[in-house]
Amino acid sequence: MLQLEEVHVDKNQLTSLPASIGRLTSLETLNVYGNQLVSVPASLGRLTRLKEISLGGNQLVSLPESFWQMTNLHTLNLGINQFSSLPESIGNLTHLHTLDLGHNALTTLPESLGKLRNLTDFLYLSNNHLTSLPRSLENLSNLMYLNVTDNELTALPDWIGKLTELKELRLYNNALTALPESLGMLTKLRELHVMNNRLVSLPESIGKLTKLRELRLNDNRLTALPESLGKLTRLRHLDLRNNRLTAVPESLSKLESLAYLDLRANKLVSLPARIGELTNLEKLDVRWNKLSSLPEWFQRLEQRGCSVYW
């Protein structure tokens, strides 16, 4: 029994863990997701071989200081708990490559998160009460996925451009009014999700994100788009619905890979005719605009199999 390497007791009704768990010194994986834990024993800190631990979906508000000494951890899930703060000692977990802190009550983050330079795979910060991000996060230069959705951010810091390995950035359901020009430094980005914010414009540098496949900007306050969008030639999905656009740039007709274009619920009175020449377009939705007449190229799109909604 003491040689156990994995323990999985997720989705039960556990309210506590025995102190004797600290005797399982060979343990490498501990999954206690979806229980009713309000605390964990300090003896967990003895499990120095532990690499993966999931305590998500419980009722934890804090962890014993010994917990933060498990320096071999590479995956830590603390999501869906009741943490309002975290200690600076989280910075001891320097082997972490995946960290889930989502769905808690965090208002700030410890500066020591910037010490987690091996954090490469995922950092989940969604569904908290964050109004800003610590500058130390700029040190996470190998991070590939960052999720800060459903918080209270009003600005995205300039240093975001230093996270040059990012492939997916999720920022939706915040209160962002602008995106920094440094966003253009994220040249490996494939997905950018910024819907349901308060954006009134986009930086010209967005055109440098030439590997972008998916761009979701719906439910903002955009009144115009930069011509540089036409440089996103690998873009397949562009969602601009529920903004305040009166026109879209001619450069959209250069998006050769575009398959889905959603322009619903704007203030468009016309569309560039050359959009009808996008041979990979599968769906075009322009409902609830102010188009004075239906372009004749709509029919051509439909004839070749594109779904057009007006």
CATH of the domain at 208: 3.80.10.10
Q: What is the 3-state secondary structure (H, E, C) of the chain?
A: CCCCCEEECCCCCCCCCCHHHHHCCCCCEEECCCCCCCCCCHHHHHCCCCCEEECCCCCCCCCCHHHHHCCCCCEEECCCCCCCCCCHHHHHCCCCCEEECCCCCCCCCCHHHHHCCCCCCEEECCCCCCCCCCHHHHHCCCCCEEECCCCCCCCCCHHHHHCCCCCEEECCCCCCCCCCHHHHHCCCCCEEECCCCCCCCCCHHHHHCCCCCEEECCCCCCCCCCHHHHHCCCCCEEECCCCCCCCCCHHHHHCCCCCEEECCCCCCCCCCHHHHHCCCCCEEECCCCCCCCCCCHHHHHHHCCCEEEC
Residue 246 lies in a domain: yes
Residue 26 lies in a domain: no
Residue 300 lies in a domain: yes
Residue 280 lies in a domain: yes
Residue 172 lies in a domain: yes
Residue 60 lies in a domain: no
Domain enclosing residue 310, as ranges: 153-310
Residue 75's nearest CA partner among 111, 119, 36 is 119
Cβ atoms 70, 50 nearer than 8 A:
yes
Cβ atoms 76, 51 nearer than 8 A:
no
Residue 222 lies in a domain: yes
Would you state the pLDDT for residue 3?
Answer: 84
Number of structural domains (the chain) is 1
Residue 281 lies in a domain: yes
Per-residue pLDDT of the chain (310 residues; tens, 9 = 90+): 668 999 999 999 999 999 999 999 999 999 999 999 999 999 999 999 999 999 999 999 999 999 999 999 999 999 999 999 999 999 999 999 999 999 999 999 999 999 999 999 999 999 999 999 999 999 999 999 999 999 999 999 999 999 999 999 999 999 999 999 999 999 999 999 999 999 999 999 999 999 999 999 999 999 999 999 999 999 999 999 999 999 999 999 999 999 999 999 999 999 999 999 999 999 999 999 999 888 999 999 999 999 999 9
pTM of the complete model beyond 0.95: yes
